[in-house]
A and B are shown apart, each in its own frame.
Chain A
Amino acid sequence: MTRPSVASSGTDPFPGVPLVELRRITKHYPGVTANRDMNLLVRPGQVHAVVGENGAGKSTLMRILYGEERPDSGDLLLDGLPVRFRSPADAIAAGIGMVHQHFLLAENLTVLENVILGAETSRRGLLDRRTSAHALRDLGERYGLAVDPGARIEHLGLGERQRVEILKALYRGARVLILDEPTTVLAPGEVSRLFTSLAELRARGLAVLFVSHKLDEVLSVSDHITVIRAGTAVGEFATGDADPGVLTRLIAGGDLPPAARGGRGGKGPVVLRLDGLRTDAVNAVTLELAKGEILGIAGVQGNGQSELIDALVGTREITAGTVRIGGRDATRLGVRQRRRLGLACIPEDRHRQALALPATLWENVMLGSEDLRRRSRWRLDRAAAREAAGEIGARLGVGAPSPDFPAAALSGGNQQKLVVGRVLRGRPEVLLAAHPTLGVDVGAQAVIWDLLRDARDAGLAVLLVSADLDEVLGLSDRVQVMLRGRLTPALPAGELTRPRLVRLMTGT
């Protein structure tokens, strides 16, 4: 595969020694090679995009650059000189700043406190808040990132929080700013505002590393693109010369099979009905879900989807409206009672809500299996649970030698396979699937999608909540979009194009 060299691609506004160079970086984790002989050149005054699928190795590379991980082999060069980062403190001192995908901001502290933490200015032993606040305000104005220094983080929206994260880096004199999947949590207007700020940063000679898997954004904002697949850099382009088709093929490693489209679900009787449902962040949601179909609720995270799922599961109080499961009014029922009616869920946060990591596989299977509980009344049927765990493990290739292994020992993808296998084994009537393949490697993702499709074909009703366009379009029969707590009317998946879905999700 030819790799177009940077030199031949034309415009390079600030030629010279690259600001940062990663040379032949290799990083192993037990059982997986995250980065293999990876090379990356970063020049000042550029927005350099790093694109690739989930699990391709982008985040690991950035963590190495930021000093959070150390490479097993390879070199890191700054201004042409080799450096070794023992920790983020070293990277910060060298002028590298990182905005993580999941913000690292203390809710109870103010913007100012979060920004100056670790880089405080003191006068006579006491914090000099006034000087710092002044400097912060200056930075904010200069780059269009204004935030109130005295505000508590918990009161800020996601877009404002991201601005604080960027200011954190700039306050420390960052010359290289790494943004890890910055647009996943942003609302429509905030994305363009971010891009404006990035342009300003570029104009002032900073280098911006934009890590993303969203090709369209990358094409619109970057000067330079590096494609990563399976741990290596497989292509480098100046954005102006890049062909989207070529890029897509490089990212996926071949021609993508046509996205499997849903739309085969036949209409059965309605098994889940929501009428004017209201709870925190959810504003009068009405929907109907029938047997044998997958209804996809698409939307950017933070528009009320989590709260909706909580309300349906029973862990959040419903303030108005009703929920009917299989015709029965479940609005005032508890979690266990709803499960007995045939409601099951794949929770959004695997570690926090789906599995007890220190517990064994069979215990985790028991935890989520209503049928095993019902069968044996007050007794704990170990044998049945172990058998079920063994069966799921073998069928889905979960990797543990026996059901007595702790769930923590499995990889993320295998854990999720266990979760999905467990929930489907119980033959529920209605399945709430919240981001079922979030953070899961491509192989496990495919397995899970097949499982869901097969279950749907066998008559399961699935309410799918996802922010992943491929997932929504590939699995759903009908799609509704959740925006600011409200649902758009349902559309057959076959009639939806990707751009149209994006517009609906961003409210444009």
Chain B
Amino acid sequence: MNALTRRPALIALLVLLAVAGVRALTGEALTDSGTVGAALRLAVPIGLAGLSGLWSERAGVANLGIEGMMIIGTVCGAWAGHFHGVWAGVLAGVLGGAAAGLLHAVVTVTFGVDQVVCGIAVNILAAGVARFLCVVVFTGLPGAGATQSPPVTGDVGTVSVPLLAGGAGGGDLLGDLERGGVFLLADAAGLLRGLLHEVSWLTVAAVVLVPVSVVVLWHTAFGLRLRSAGEHPAAADSLGVPVQRMRYCGVLISGGLAGLAGAYLVTVSSGLYQEGQTGGRGFIGLAAMIFGNWRPAGTAGGALLFGYADAVQLRQASAAHTLLLLGAMLAWTAAIAVARRRPRLAAGAALLGAAAFALFQSTGSVPTQLIYATPYLTTLLVLATVAQRLRMPAYVGLPYRRGGA
């Protein structure tokens, strides 16, 4: 598996081949631009949540309150978004999330409370705050209810890449290719077009945050110090790095990112606040971070994966069913790839593939209620596969006080 995982391009090609094969067999296009576009839209909040977790954990603080910080982001975003426009909503979301992050930081860094417990507590508090604010601020406004806000004013706006995906100036090369239906080419074109056609500006901003995180964390002094607070706070302290302050920074940035994810949900994904709209994405984001080995690029990849699973759930029932076939094919490919070096893993993968295939054949379609569970099941499956061999920041979860615990 190692030789394979070191060449993501090869994996991408194999997956694409499998997808094209499925389309040839069932007529179901799994990477049509509509689904991929939806996947991107759904991946952004997950990816931002994952980045949020990353910034916090790199500084040494486990942040399980991302979900709660996202909720605060949604409610603040909807409030400012309704009264003062979309971009005010985005800003309010970020600030709200950062405020929640500040609370988490104070309790875990200054008071040294167990970080997991505090994260859970933040979620509880945030849910309460959101509900209260919703009732107090939104009742009586047109379109509002007890658990939802009036719509946000204005639109963030979208952009499409010209020439390739129908942007300003005409030309939709990828769209033409996709409609052409050629094996592999059409699937690849659909995939690319989904990523380049009518993409929200906020999505662009979120995507940009990924390389920005890489640069800041690995190529600036600030980033090095922040990471040292998570890798070896005692060493950092002995060299004069202000560990507590670095942890505060990490958690605040984390909160801001989570708030941005929430703001995205109310401005781009849906246009208003609704109770429960975060739907566990804070935690799926953490899973993306784990999948990405605590690196921004990997986190983004994981987010796309989970976003896709989310999109399938929303698009059509038949797609979910077809995913089983895809899953079977991928599992068998993986089994063949590792058969020689890791026979037990190969056997497990083959078994999983067989089960997926059997399910595919025996059921006409995935029941709607279970489709709802697709993203969560996917996340669990991914976690079960990768969780063990990863490298997390060495001192995450351990409070640091100078002179010993």
Contact = CB atoms under 8 A, between A and B. Distances in A.
Contact of B241 (A107, A117, A122, A127): A117
Residue among A89, A117, A119 with max Cβ neighbours from chain B (10 Å): A117
A126 interface: yes
Contacts of B220: 122, 125-127
B240 A88 contact: yes
Nearest to A93: B240
A113 B391 CA distance: 18
A163 interface: no
A119 B224 CA distance: 11
A109 B238 contact: no
Nearest to A89: B240
Nearest to A129: B219
B238 A88 contact: yes
A168 interface: yes
Nearest to A68: B238
Contact of A105 (B221, B225, B235, B241): B235
Interface residues of B, number: 21
Residue among B215, B220, B231, B391 with max Cβ neighbours from chain A (10 Å): B231
A105 B220 CA distance: 19
Contacts of B219: 126-127
B218 to A, nearest CB: 8
A405 to B, nearest CB: 18
A108 B215 contact: no
Contacts of B227: 109
A303 interface: no
Interface in B203-224: 215, 219-221, 224
Contacts of B393: 108
Given A104-B234, A108-B391, A126-B215, A168 B239 contact: yes
B236 A117 contact: yes
A254 interface: no
A122 to B, nearest CB: 5
A107 B235 CA distance: 11
Interface in A90-125: 92, 98, 100, 104-109, 113-114, 116-120, 122, 125
A106 B394 contact: yes
A118 B240 contact: yes
A319 interface: no
A411 to B, nearest CB: 14
Interface in A35-94: 68, 87-89, 92
Chain B, interface SS category: helix
Contacts of B200: none
A107 B232 CA distance: 8
B228 interface: yes
A105 B219 CA distance: 19
A105 B239 CA distance: 11
Contacts of A127: 219-221, 224
Contacts of A116: 224
A105 B240 contact: no
A104 B238 contact: yes
B275 interface: no
Contacts of A114: 235
Contact of A106 (B215, B228, B391): B228
B114 interface: no
Contact of A117 (B235, B391, B394): B235
B172 interface: no
B240 A108 contact: no
Nearest to A105: B235
Contacts of A119: 239
A299 B66 CA distance: 49
Residue among B237, B238, B394 with max Cβ neighbours from chain A (10 Å): B238
Contacts of B238: 68, 88, 98, 100, 104
B215 A117 contact: no
A104 B238 CA distance: 8
Nearest to B237: A88
A35 to B, nearest CB: 17
A95 B241 CA distance: 17
A68 B240 CA distance: 10
Contact of B236 (A68, A100, A118, A126): A118
B304 to A, nearest CB: 26
Nearest to A115: B239
Nearest to A91: B240
Contacts of B215: 126
A99 B231 CA distance: 19
B231 A108 contact: yes
Interface in B234-282: 234-241
A109 B234 contact: no
A108 B239 contact: no
A87 B231 CA distance: 21
B234 A117 contact: no
A118 B246 CA distance: 12
Nearest to B392: A108
Contacts of A109: 224, 227-228, 231-232
A127 B227 CA distance: 14
B239 A118 contact: yes
A105 B236 CA distance: 9
B296 to A, nearest CB: 16
Interface of B: 215, 219-221, 224-225, 227-228, 231-232, 234-241, 391, 393-394
Given A104-B232, A118-B236, 20 more contacts: A88-B238, A89-B239, A89-B240, A92-B239, A92-B240, A98-B238, A104-B234, A106-B231, A107-B231, A108-B394, A109-B231, A113-B224, A117-B225, A117-B235, A117-B236, A117-B239, A120-B221, A122-B221, A125-B220, A127-B219
18 contacts: A68-B238, A92-B240, A104-B235, A105-B235, A106-B235, A106-B236, A106-B394, A108-B393, A109-B227, A109-B231, A109-B232, A117-B224, A117-B225, A118-B225, A120-B221, A120-B224, A126-B219, A126-B220
Q: Which 10 A-B pairs have the closest CB atoms?
A: A89-B240, A104-B235, A106-B232, A118-B239, A106-B231, A120-B221, A118-B240, A126-B219, A118-B241, A88-B238
